């Protein structure tokens, strides 16, 4: 079984938030080969930014940032290039949903791979559910 994950899920692998246990279970299932995880190739950049924002917001200790980033980099899902195939479709989806191209790259990848998108972004799920029912919360 294949699933697309976004930054909101990968971030929960390293920083405790609501639904962290579900995200960690996905990670562990990936680690043991039970499922395949995929993501657009910019996922590591987005996770790095989320870690930096968590540092600046005092949610994690500054010295933890590089270590947490290394943890994520050691267990990346299979990364797919955003161009040339995904970006035009993500743009179309973003226009349709009045969303961001960044978020819609995950939807475009799930559509392309014919699999579910797992995201902790409930706003994205609410926007996508009518047209893209494969977008779900963990």
Containing structural domain, residue 116: 2-136
| pTM for this entry | 0.93
Q: Which helix (H) or strand (E) holds 50?
A: helix 43-56
Contact 80, 39 (CB under 8 A): yes
pLDDT, residue 136, reads: 77
Number of domains in the chain: 1
CATH value at residue 49: 3.40.50.1010
Q: Longest Cα pair distance anywhere in the chain, in angstroms?
A: 42
pLDDT tens readout for residues 27-43: 999 999 999 999 999 99
Q: CB-based burial of residue 79 (10 Å sphere; 0-12 exposed, 13-18 middle, 19+ buried)?
A: middle
Q: Which of 61-70, 85-94, 125-134 has the lowest mean pLDDT?
A: 125-134
pLDDT, residue 138, reads: 67
């Amino acid at each position: 079984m294949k699933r697309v994950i976004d930054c909101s899920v990968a971030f929960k692998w390293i920083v405790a938030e609501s639904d962290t246990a579900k995200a960690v279970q996905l990670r562990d299932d990936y680690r043991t080969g039970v499922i395949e995880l995929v993501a657009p190739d910019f996922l590591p950049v987005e996770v790095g930014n989320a870690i930096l924002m968590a540092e600046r917001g005092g949610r994690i200790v500054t010295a933890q940032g590089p270590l947490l980033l290394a943890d994520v980099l050691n267990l990346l899902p299979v990364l797919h290039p955003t161009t040339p195939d995904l970006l035009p479709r993500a743009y179309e989806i973003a226009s349709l949903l009045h969303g961001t191209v960044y978020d819609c790259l995950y939807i475009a990848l799930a559509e392309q791979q014919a699999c579910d998108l797992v995201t902790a972004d409930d706003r994205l799920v609410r926007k996508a559910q009518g047209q893209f029912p494969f977008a779900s919360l963990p």
